[in-house]
Amino acid sequence: MFERTYELYWEKLYAVCFNTIREVEPAKEMVQDIFKSLWERRAELEIQKIEHYLVRSAKFKAFEYIRNQVSRQKHSELAMLDCLTAHNCTEEKVLFNNLKQQVNLLVDELPCQCKRVYKLSREEGMLNKDIATLLSISERAVEYHITKAMGKLKSGLANY
């Protein structure tokens, strides 16, 4: 039953997501998230019309993605505005870029799984629960990896 639903509707859901955000990979991820959620909640959901439910879910996912993108963009614009109003804007940019480069070097030195968890958490903004599901590890393991990564970053950035 679930496989049949997936076969029938995945293309339509992908089209809804892609036509809204115009990005291939995020649209594919959204469709996977929708079906993953459907599978995980299959026992508690009471759906009258599966197609309507799935299409609505796709629209919500796409709008959520857009909202998050807009929020990130506004944050970046505010940071740039702050920088423009600062007296030492160029110096601050250089210092910021040096700090960012140092963080990236330290992140690259992390063990593979720890680096993956850190990037999903801090760069992609994923929740611990979602990271745990994606990587097939426990939430406790996700917390451990984030704590380990943050400790290494803190000690590696002590001079900053």
Same domain as 105, residue 55: no
Residues 6 or more apart in contact with residue 19 via CB below 8 angstroms: none
Same domain as 108, residue 30: no
Closest among 122, 120, 109, 89 to 155, alpha carbons compared: 109
Alpha-carbon separation of residue 29 from 79, 87, 119, 139, 148 (angstroms): 29, 43, 17, 21, 28
CA–CA gap between residue 105 and residue 99 (Å, rounded): 10
- Tens of pLDDT, residues 111-143: 999 999 998 988 888 899 999 998 999 999 999
Give the chain's mean pLDDT: 86
- CATH of residue 56's domain is 1.10.1740.10
- Tens of pLDDT, residues 69-99: 877 777 777 777 766 665 666 777 788 888 8
Among 85, 105, 129, the domain boundary falls at 85
Domain that holds residue 28: 1-85
